Amino acid sequence: MADKTIPRIRKATASSISKLSDKTIHTKEEAGSFLIDVANATLFVMLVIREAFSRNFEFREFFRQCFRIGNKTLALVSVTGIIMGAVLTIQSRPVLAEFGAVSMLPGMIAISLIREMGPVITALIFAGKIGSGMGAELGSMKVTEQIDAMEVSSANPIRYLVVTRVLASTFMLPMLVLYADAMGLLGSWLAANIKGNVSLTLFMAQAFDVVGFIDFIPAFIKTFFFGAVVGFVGTYKGYNSGRGTESVGTAANSAVVLASLLVLVVDIIAVQITDMLER
């Protein structure tokens, strides 16, 4: 019995070692490729920033991208904003009613929307819609050699395609967040009127009574960073996609995943900084 067990243990040990070494090599390779990816992304960001301050800025393309981004997401942001405000109101009202604090509802909703819900939910929706669009568009331009064609015709593809998209995304997201906040408050007022009868003027007066600049300014500033993150990730993934058609889908998909994740990471950093400033 013992004789039979020993070889089994030995066998198991040998196979575990080989598995372990395979896993170690694989992990090492993965870590290496991750570090290379981080280095490439850093170089890409630096290149884009340098090109953004160079001469011959593509103003026309920048305004076209701003219009496209705003136009593409306006309807989606409107619906999301209204639903966000309405859901918050419907869920918070019974709790506040229990404590006889229904009059605090507009202020509470306004603070939640302006400080956190509006910026983050809009940025996540934005990452899904615009980040994936950028990844897919630039990815397909790469596959069909349009980026190469731009390069050989003396245009600078980074300046024309990337800088304009990153800046448009950085400037348009804060506008969309403001709009989403307004829609959220509207949705909240509509929901409040399901069970009560509050005038829009009174609702807004109660809402803005508790909102100060300290609620609005940090939340507004962080949306620029959210926009930049979505722009950089979307264009980086598209611009550096592979040459096959499959890579277009991969670029779009990974752009959404990474941009959403980074939006949340930037958010936690922004919240910590705001918290430190408020103390």
Partner 1 sequence: MSESKAVKSVDGKERETVLEIINLNKSFKGKEVLKDTNLTLFKGENLVVLGKSGTGKSVLIKCIVGLLRPDKGSVKVFGREISQMKKNELTEIRQRIGFLFQNGALYDSMTVKQNLVFPLVRIKKGIKKEEVEERVKAVLESIGLPEVMNKMPSELSGGMRKRVSLARTIIVDPEIMLYDEPTTGLDPVTSDEISELINEVQEKYHTSSIIITHDLRCAMKTGDRMIMLHEGVVHSEGSLEEFKESEDPLIKSFFTETS
Residues of the shown chain interacting with partner 1 in the complex, contacts defined by CB under 8 A: 137, 141, 144-146, 148-155
In angstroms, give the least distance from the CB of 203 to partner 1.
43
The backbone torsions φ and ψ at residue 16, rounded to the nearest 5 degrees and listed phi first, read -65, -40
Q: Which is nearer to partner 1, 79 or 155 (CB)?
A: 155
- Which residues does 160 contact at the CB level (< 8 Å), separation at least 6? 58, 61, 150
Q: Cα torsion for 242, 243, 244, 249, to the nearest 10°?
A: 40
Q: Which is nearer to partner 1, 24 or 144 (CB)?
A: 144
**Token representation of residue 120:** 């983050």
Neighbours of 46 (CB within 10 A): 10
189 within 8 A of 203, measured Cβ to Cβ: yes
- Which residues does 229 contact at the CB level (< 8 Å), separation at least 6? 259, 262, 263, 266
Q: Which is nearer to partner 1, 141 or 255 (CB)?
A: 141
In angstroms, give the least distance from the CB of 148 to partner 1.
5
In angstroms, give the least distance from the CB of 14 to partner 1.
32
Letter string b/e over residues 12-23, b meaning 16 or more CB atoms within 10 A of that residue's CB: eeeeeeeeeeee
In angstroms, give the least distance from the CB of 155 to partner 1.
5
162 within 8 A of 63, measured Cβ to Cβ: no
In angstroms, give the least distance from the CB of 107 to partner 1.
46
Q: Which is nearer to partner 1, 52 or 155 (CB)?
A: 155
In angstroms, give the least distance from the CB of 178 to partner 1.
28
Taking 3-state DSSP, the helix, strand and coil percentages for the chain, each rounded to the nearest 5, stand at: 90, 0, 10
In angstroms, give the least distance from the CB of 68 to partner 1.
10
Q: Which is nearer to partner 1, 70 or 107 (CB)?
A: 70
Q: Which is nearer to partner 1, 154 or 197 (CB)?
A: 154
- Return the HEC string of 103-149: HHHHHHHHHHHHHHHHHHHHHHHHHHHHHHHHHHHHHHHHHCCHHHH
Q: Which is nearer to partner 1, 252 or 262 (CB)?
A: 252
